[in-house]
Structure 1
Amino acid sequence: MLKLKVKDKVPCTETRKRTRVQNVVQFALKQKWNWAGHVARFDGNRWTQRVTEWQPREGRRARGKQRRRWRDDLVQLKGATWRHDAQHRQQWRSDVEGYFQR
């Protein structure tokens, strides 16, 4: 498409900029953040809301390296109050855009 070769050593970011193709990982994360904001604004009785907040009965996780839960990324970057922050749609949207512009 751009007639580049490996020996040209053009970075992926430059190639994406020229072709206007988005980074798939960033796109997926952005969609996840948008969905998280959407789910956080649901009423508490909906299935998606209950699954997001579900805690195992014993409250403990297995030994060893922990598997990442769906909300772990959100808590890591926004803190434990991400659900409260998502209630304000415009602020949440600007936070998401600011995060992905870095």
Structure 2
Amino acid sequence: MLYGTETASMRKTEEKKMDVAEMRMLRWMSTVIREDRTRNDYIKGSTKVVEVSKKVQEGRLRWYGHLLRRDEDPTRRHTMVMEGQGRVRRGRPRKRWKDCVRGDLHEKGNDEAEA
């Protein structure tokens, strides 16, 4: 489920869907059905599993650190600061990977210089 997620920009709805799928798998593993009315927190605590959205966030920050440590080859650095060409579409801009990383760093209480 986590394959390639460190390079993808995910919206909140996609993260929520992954969390829901994870809970369904945990319920299936622990043979708990919805009719038992067992809380999700209890199931996560008994299986000792971290939320999949947190794992995605860790992977994204790990990949960002890897990109920052690369050598200063101009062609490789160019991909990090690349801007799109053409007209800007109407409405809200699409969420970019760099925006996800900034949000993750802000949530962890770090800034780009510390990364």
User: By the TM > 0.5 criterion, same fold?
Assistant: yes
Q: Normalising to structure 2: TM-score of the pair?
A: 0.55
Q: Which runs of 4+ in 1 moved over 4 A?
A: none
Gaps of 5+ in 2: 1-28
Distance 1:37 1:61, change over 3 A: farther
Map 1:1-102 onto structure 2 (within 5 A). Answer: 1-45=29-73, 47-57=75-85, 61-78=88-105, 82=112, 84-86=113-115
CA root-mean-square deviation = 2.6
Gaps of 5+ in 1: 87-102
Among all aligned residue pairs of Structure 1 and Structure 2, give the percentage whose two residues are the same amino acid. 22
Q: Is contact 2:61-2:104 (8 Å) kept?
A: no
Higher relative contact order (CA 8 A, sep 6+): 2
Number of corresponding residues: 83
**What SS class does the counterpart of residue 63 from structure 1 fall into?**
coil
How far off is 1:48 after superposition?
A: 4.6
Q: Normalising to structure 1: TM-score of the pair?
A: 0.60
